Protein backbone atom coordinates (compact mmCIF):
# COMPACT_ATOMS: atom_id res chain seq x y z
CA UNK A 1 0.00 0.00 0.00
CA UNK A 2 1.33 3.45 -0.89
CA UNK A 3 0.39 6.52 1.08
CA UNK A 4 -0.45 9.84 -0.52
CA UNK A 5 2.11 12.63 -0.21
CA UNK A 6 2.05 14.37 3.21
CA UNK A 7 0.73 17.60 1.68
CA UNK A 8 -2.50 15.79 0.77
CA UNK A 9 -3.04 14.49 4.30
CA UNK A 10 -3.49 17.84 5.97
CA UNK A 11 -4.14 21.43 5.17
CA UNK A 12 -3.93 24.61 7.19
CA UNK A 13 -7.04 26.73 7.40
CA UNK A 14 -7.16 30.27 8.74
CA UNK A 15 -10.08 30.89 11.09
CA UNK A 16 -10.98 34.39 12.26
CA UNK A 17 -12.36 34.35 15.80
CA UNK A 18 -12.77 37.57 17.71
CA UNK A 19 -9.70 39.78 17.91
CA UNK A 20 -7.18 36.97 17.33
CA UNK A 21 -6.17 34.74 14.49
CA UNK A 22 -6.24 30.97 14.86
CA UNK A 23 -4.73 28.36 12.54
CA UNK A 24 -6.49 25.00 12.35
CA UNK A 25 -5.09 21.92 10.66
CA UNK A 26 -7.63 19.47 9.24
CA UNK A 27 -6.93 16.06 7.80
CA UNK A 28 -8.48 15.05 4.49
CA UNK A 29 -10.91 12.79 6.36
CA UNK A 30 -12.02 15.70 8.54
CA UNK A 31 -12.46 17.89 5.46
CA UNK A 32 -14.64 15.22 3.83
CA UNK A 33 -16.67 14.82 7.03
CA UNK A 34 -17.34 18.56 7.23
CA UNK A 35 -18.33 18.65 3.55
CA UNK A 36 -20.77 15.75 3.98
CA UNK A 37 -22.27 17.32 7.10
CA UNK A 38 -22.76 20.61 5.26
CA UNK A 39 -24.68 18.81 2.51
CA UNK A 40 -26.73 16.64 4.89
CA UNK A 41 -27.56 19.13 7.63
CA UNK A 42 -27.57 22.47 5.82
CA UNK A 43 -28.86 21.19 2.48
CA UNK A 44 -25.99 22.75 0.55
CA UNK A 45 -25.77 21.56 -3.06
CA UNK A 46 -23.17 18.82 -3.48
CA UNK A 47 -21.65 20.52 -6.53
CA UNK A 48 -21.07 23.79 -4.61
CA UNK A 49 -19.49 21.98 -1.65
CA UNK A 50 -17.31 19.88 -3.95
CA UNK A 51 -15.92 22.96 -5.68
CA UNK A 52 -14.58 24.25 -2.36
| Residue 12 confidence (pLDDT) above 70 | no
Q: Is the pLDDT of residue 45 over 90?
A: yes
pLDDT, tens only, 20-31:
666 677 788 888
Q: What is the pLDDT of residue 16?
A: 57
Answer whether residue 42 is part of any domain.
yes
Question: In the prediction, which pLDDT does 26 show?
Answer: 79
Confirm whether 46 is domain-assigned.
Answer: yes
- Domain range for 36 is 26-52
pTM: 0.51
What number is the average pLDDT over the span 5-30? Answer: 64
Note whether residue 14 is domain-resident: no
Any domain includes 20: no
**One-character DSSP codes across 5-37:** PHHHHEEEEEEEETTEEEEEEEEHHHHHHHHHH
Residue 30 lies in a domain: yes
Amino acid sequence: MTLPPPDLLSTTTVVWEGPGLMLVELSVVEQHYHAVMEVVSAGAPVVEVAVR
